[in-house]
Amino acid sequence: MILTCPKCFSADDVRPPRRLPDQVLHHRCTNEKHGDHEWFTTAGPAAPPPAHHLVTDDLLEPLKKCVRDGEPFVEFGIVEHRLRGMFPDLFAAHVAAQGHSMFGSRPYTASSVRFGVALGRLEQAGELVSEYGPATGAWHYNGQVTYWAKTAAPGRRSWAEYCAENGRSPEWTDQDRLGLAHP
């Protein structure tokens, strides 16, 4: 099984796992773009191989539709906002299962893992391209995030710019949380 980093969606810089007590595996990615990133999984039959693919299969086509032909790289928040608007039931189901940062700090949310893994899979399939850029608005706590495009094009459109153009707050609002459950 090839393990990919949930931050950069690559297996290139993932180091062999370290086994901890209780069948927990400690993983580390040393990708220079994001610096060291660590996460934990369980070993053995409780962690079926590539579960992250099965969980994200239903996101592939919808997310592909959230990145538009001919536009510059768009910040991850724009892609996620479009996903919620175009596929509200799908978005809500993933947030209910995995949580979301709009409900408070928590590792491995739908945004940080499921949506990101699906976008990474689309990139690996040649459907999308990404680059790192500054995180804005509600995403600023990340420092940097991925920006997505169908093909490499000049320029970027940030979440904060998108919000200003659409008359909404770039921070999480009660309206954003409305109708969503979280574990």
26 and 59 part of one domain: no
Q: Of 47, 63, 56, which is closest to residue 97 (Cα–Cα)?
A: 56
Does residue 138 form part of some domain? yes
Q: 63 with 150, same domain? A: yes
Give the chain's end-to-end CA distance (angstroms, integer): 29
Same domain? For 29 and 65 the reply is no
pLDDT digits 0-9 by tens, 48-57: 434 445 578 8
Per-residue pLDDT tens over the stretch 15-37: 888 777 666 777 888 888 888 88
The reply to whether 107 and 161 lie within a common domain is yes
Judgement on whether residues 37 and 72 belong to the same structural domain of the protein: no
Whether 182 is in a domain gets the answer no
User: Which pLDDT does position 137 carry in this prediction?
Assistant: 94
Q: Identify the residue with better confidence: 109 or 149.
A: 149
63 and 149 inside one domain: yes
Residue 149: domain span: 54-177
Determine the pLDDT at residue 23.
65
Q: Are residues 38 and 78 in the same domain?
A: no
User: For residue 147, what are the contacts with CB-CB under 8 A and spacing of at least 6?
Assistant: 73, 74, 75, 76, 130, 131, 132, 133, 156
On whether both 41 and 66 belong to a single domain, the answer is: no
Same domain flag for 98 and 160: yes
